[in-house]
Amino acid sequence: MKRHLSLFTTIILSLVSIVMQAQLPEQLIKIVVSPDHENWQYNTGEKVNFSVHVFYHLNYLKGAKTWYEVGPEKMEPVKKDSLILDGKPFKIDAGTLKTPGFLRCIVTVEFEDKKYRGLATAGFDIDQIRPTVNLPEDFMEFWDAAKKELARIPVNARMTLMPERCTENINVYHVSLQNIGNSRIYGIVSIPRKEGKYPAILEVPGAGVRAYSPDISLAERGVITFVIGIHGIPVNLDPGVYLDLGNGALREYWTFNMDNRDRYYYKRVYLGCVRANDFLASLPQYDGANLAVMGGSQGGALSIITASLDPRIKYLGSFYPALCDVTGYLSGRAGGWPHFFDRNNRNFHNTKEKLETIAYYDVANFARNIKVPGFYSWGFNDETCPPTSMYAAYNLISAEKNLNLFLETGHWTYPEQNNKLQNWILGMLTKN
């Protein structure tokens, strides 16, 4: 009974996590902030006005104290003011930007002792945003040597059937693979039971420490799916284990050994994604030709990185990638998650050793080497992965790229957004 309750708890927590990531909940006071250009885009030097509508029970709110601030995203505001709502919309003259980037307007309303928040972000010459991160001269040599190190290590795959997760059409296995440094990488693979050869999708995770569930829905559509974790621990443990690790031994794992390029935490992670592809390529059910990678946030970064490192990847899908141009803050603009160099972290991380290391792991430097078609999607209101940082990497990609903007979204997606990515990847994998 204890085992079944643990499994049930894991499933429930996974579903809650998915719902929380999918879409923000409604709030009682609805604050709609919008720029005066339909596409939210401007030329540098062009003025932007934001319209603000505040609703209570779908009627304009009156009498509530309201504050607003405007400034480059993630930077100190250049304009701040307050007013009392009079039951009508109001406009904010936000000025402009003189260099490519994003200007954000944040509105806060106080109602019945609670504060509500809304925002919108205007982009200025966003196709001209360039990275600030340094490109090491031996960047590719470093990663070629790392891949050779990995190749000398046997995959040593261990597959354990998960009967409780299998369906009439899909077999599901918990998988353990040998990785560098005597570590292992774990995941859950879903394989169609019907005899035949199938394309495959590697699904890489967002940040955090948690259990994972199989992607049976995509597998039911005729592909092999492999959902992996990055921490070298099984992905089907009791939820309490991950909670303890996330708050303890793995807290802020993205900073571990950041002052040494050979020992930095993400080296094992990036190579682990390549090792996951080694496993997929070894499956007798794999068609040997059609392999894709997809993920969001940290997973969006890993999608780009894996496609850059591994020529077996033919297509990639990336939602709001993290780890892009993280040094932006040192040049007076927003940098990517995990915000190593913002005003809260700069004094600790702004060292010669850490700056040298991070250049080997920044998505912008991997983006230069992308050679396969990609589906990318994000919104301008993302405060976790600022659009300035994402465009700094995206603008370097010379391969075929398909950017789907859902302008008002933050660090979340609409169901329609997810469907677009899945349909695009499936279409690409099965077009031949």
Catalytic residue annotation: 297, 382, 411
Order the strands of the 401-405 sheet from edge to edge.
158-161, 170-178, 184-192, 224-228, 198-203, 286-296, 315-319, 374-378, 401-405
CA-derived radius of gyration, the chain: 23
Q: What is the DSSP string of 234-303?
A: -SSS-HHHHHHHHHTTTTTGGGTTTT-TTT-HHHHHHHHHHHHHHHHHH-TTEEEEEEEEEEETHHHHHH
Take residue 371 and report the two structure tokens written for it: 């050679």
**Residue 108 β-bridge partners:** 67, 117
**Cα–Cα distance, 180 to 154 (Å, whole number):** 10
Take residue 127 and report the two structure tokens written for it: 């196709």
The Cα-based distances of 297 to 54, 233, 368 in angstroms read 30, 21, 19
The b-or-e profile of 80-110 (16+ CB within 10 A means b, else e) is eeeeebeeeeeebebeebeebbbbbbbbbbe
Take residue 289 and report the two structure tokens written for it: 């030709």
**Cα–Cα distance, 124 to 111 (Å, whole number):** 33
Let me know how long the chain is.
Answer: 432
Name the one residue in this structure whose structure tokens are 């779908």.
58
* Beta strands in 128-243, from DSSP E residues, in sequence order: 158-161, 170-178, 184-192, 198-203, 224-228
